[in-house]
Amino acid sequence: MGKTTGFMEYERQSQRERDPSERTKDWVDYTAPMTEDEIKKQGARCMDCGVPTCHTGTEINGSTTGCPVNHLIPEWNDLVYRGQWKAALEKEHEKNNFPEFTGIACPAPCEGACVLGINESPVAIRTVERSIIERGFEEGWVKPEPPSKRTGKKIAVVGSGPAGMAAAAQLNKAGHWVTVYERHDRVGGLLTYGIPEMKLSYEIVERRVKILEAEGIEFVTNTEVGKDVTEEQLRADFDSVILCGGSTVHRNIPAEGRELKGIHYAMDFLHQNTKSLLDSNHEDGNYISAKDKDVIVIGGGDTGTDCLATSVRHNCKSLTQFDIYDKKLSARDDEDNPWPQWPIVHRVEYGHKEAAAVLGDDPRAYAVMTKKFVGDENGHVKEVHTVNVKLRYENGKKIRDEIPGTEKVWPADLVLLAIGFKGPEQDLIKQLGVETTERSTVKAEYGKYTTNVEGVFAAGDVRRGQSLIVWAINEGREAARECDRYLMGTTELP
């Protein structure tokens, strides 16, 4: 531990951001750089706890707390404080193949579990994490490291999201030949076509993909396994398969008027926006535009926030985000939600700040349930009808009672459904004969990742259901370990 009094001397400073009214004029990273001295002070705040609760990821009450990849957080905090950046980078890479993805976009369950957070602001762990890996790239320390020996075994990874990329990276390290199949035209899964450019740019994904390619991994895009590559081809060409196809079946709102034009899944909006932006700087016009529209985003999570930030950049006329939950407390409730649980508190994310800066107010409406959509004479949505609800539990089940007199009509020409995903697509899973759970995710035990089909493993959202980048990386790494054990009889992968 570098500075024993650091946590008393220095205030928490998390990632700086550009001015929200300025940054919404472009699609460039919304954050701003920090000085080396600022980052060192954040490292110095770490107390090197006897039980570093930040370091171990687990789930309590359905939320993640602590780091799922078991990052060596106290170690790299100390090294950063001492200015030993290269050693800090090595510690980061020991546990996480892609700290640049988590350093940018992880909600940081490590910070929720940080001991300093009991009576102070937690250590700005994610900010330190990001600074280490960026320094590594700037200094040229992150280089391809191809394995010295090849085993001759071949593995197909289906899906190039963080789970697939992590599995591929680890299996390649063990000397296997890895081919990653991706049905879209670009690699990265939801890192590329879910999270928008200003939060996590494709350049960051591509920078890592180039390193993985130079290490010997083959990425095959525009190729859907199950259609363009058949199950027989997989069996003939590969010794093992890892399913990392994500959890992409949309959740819908089966309300009256759902079929109207102008109502879209958030993912279609976000995917098309990023593709058009990357392909042609939006000149091809192949995206759903929010320009001059009254936009309603249904869903209070991260995807909804990404829709806000995207709509503001399109110059929408108005913007409202419906959250089915009540507004949360500003500080954690120590009785119901004690440390080290993930703090359930009101958060103001980048998209909320941007909407407020450009349109004048925080765009959220709370405890709002959509009742129906009403269209104009051309079959285009023009209104969303809602009612406020009160949540209660009956035998552990959520019941939402409508509050009489709270009915409201909202003008809308674009409605975006950001209410999550039901589970993975089933075609390939069925073709392979892989068993699923009652949630339609692939049945494979956490830590083992084996399915009922010999040689077929599963990791990430396809196994866990809709989750986080950091869990996808954790599962990809561990599935690689189990696959290596299956192929070689033993493994040295972590």
DSSP character string of 297-364: EE--SHHHHHHHHHHHHTT-SEEEEEESSPPPPSS--TTTS-TTSPP------HHHHHHHHHHSS--E
What phi and psi values does residue 487 have, to the nearest 5 degrees? -80, -35
Q: With the C-alpha atoms ordered 356, 359, 360, 363, is the resulting torsion angle positive or negative?
A: negative
115 contacts ligand SF4 (rule: CB under 6 A):
yes
Nearest approach, Cβ of residue 52 and ligand SF4 (Å):
4
251 contacts ligand FAD (rule: CB under 6 A):
no
Judged by CB under 6 A, the residue of 53, 70, 341, 467 near ligand SF4 is 53
Nearest approach, Cβ of residue 335 and ligand FAD (Å):
28
With beta carbons less than 8 A apart as the criterion, state whether 384 and 415 touch: yes
Q: Of 109 and 363, which CB lies nearer to ligand SF4 in the complex structure?
A: 109
299 contacts ligand FAD (rule: CB under 6 A):
no
x/- map, 3-42, ligand SF4, by CB under 6 A: ----------------------------------------
54 contacts ligand SF4 (rule: CB under 6 A):
yes
Question: Residue 281 is which amino acid?
Answer: N
Nearest approach, Cβ of residue 148 and ligand SF4 (Å):
35
Neighbouring residues of 210: CB distance < 8 A, sequence distance ≥ 6 = none
66 contacts ligand FAD (rule: CB under 6 A):
no
Task: Please state whether the peptide bond connecting residue 340 to the residue before it is cis, i.e. omega within 30 degrees of 0.
Answer: yes
Judged by CB under 6 A, the residue of 44, 88, 116, 229 near ligand SF4 is 116
Distances (CA, A) of 410 to 52, 322, 360: 48, 11, 18
Question: Residue 474 is which amino acid?
Answer: N
195 contacts ligand FAD (rule: CB under 6 A):
yes
* Closest by CA position to 75, among listed 115, 109, 125: 125
Pairing of the two strands 154-158 and 177-181: parallel
309 contacts ligand FAD (rule: CB under 6 A):
no
Dig out the tokens for 10 from the structure.
């220095």
- For the beta carbon of residue 331, count every other beta carbon within 10 angstroms: 10
Judged by CB under 6 A, the residue of 57, 103, 189, 340 near ligand FAD is 189
DSSP character string of 239-284: SEEEE-----EEP----BTTTSBTEEEHHHHHHHHHHHHHHHTTTT
Judged by CB under 6 A, the residue of 80, 104, 108, 123 near ligand SF4 is 123
Q: Which helix (H) or strand (E) holds 399?
A: strand 397-402
Nearest approach, Cβ of residue 384 and ligand SF4 (Å):
43
Helix (H, G, I), strand (E, B) or coil at 454: coil
Q: Which does 168 bind (CB under 5 to 8 A by kind): ligand SF4, ligand FAD, none?
A: none
Judged by CB under 6 A, the residue of 49, 60, 387, 453 near ligand SF4 is 49
Q: Of 73 and 415, which CB lies nearer to ligand SF4 in the complex structure?
A: 73
245 contacts ligand FAD (rule: CB under 6 A):
yes
Q: What percent of the chain is helix, strand and coil (3-state, nearest 5)?
A: 35, 20, 45
Judged by CB under 6 A, the residue of 120, 206, 215, 224 near ligand FAD is 224
Nearest approach, Cβ of residue 468 and ligand SF4 (Å):
19
73 contacts ligand SF4 (rule: CB under 6 A):
yes
Judged by CB under 6 A, the residue of 68, 74, 99, 161 near ligand FAD is 161
Q: Which residue has the tokens 């494979």?
A: 444
244 contacts ligand FAD (rule: CB under 6 A):
yes
Q: Of 49 and 255, which CB lies nearer to ligand SF4 in the complex structure?
A: 49
Q: Of 184 and 258, which CB lies nearer to ligand FAD in the complex structure?
A: 184
Q: Of 119 and 395, which CB lies nearer to ligand SF4 in the complex structure?
A: 119
Dig out the tokens for 101 from the structure.
């993805």
Question: Residue 192 is which amino acid?
Answer: T
Q: Which does 53 bind (CB under 5 to 8 A by kind): ligand FAD, ligand SF4, none?
A: ligand SF4
160 contacts ligand FAD (rule: CB under 6 A):
yes
Rounded Cα–Cα distance for residues 185 and 183 (Å):
7
Question: For residue 385, what are the β-bridge partners?
Answer: 372, 409
Judged by CB under 6 A, the residue of 34, 39, 44, 46 near ligand SF4 is 46
Which residues here bind ligand FAD, judged by CB under 6 A? 105-107, 158-164, 181-184, 189-191, 194-195, 224-226, 244-246, 270, 302-303, 306, 428, 460-462, 467-470, 472
Which residues here bind ligand SF4, judged by CB under 6 A? 46-49, 52-54, 73-74, 77, 114-116, 123, 125
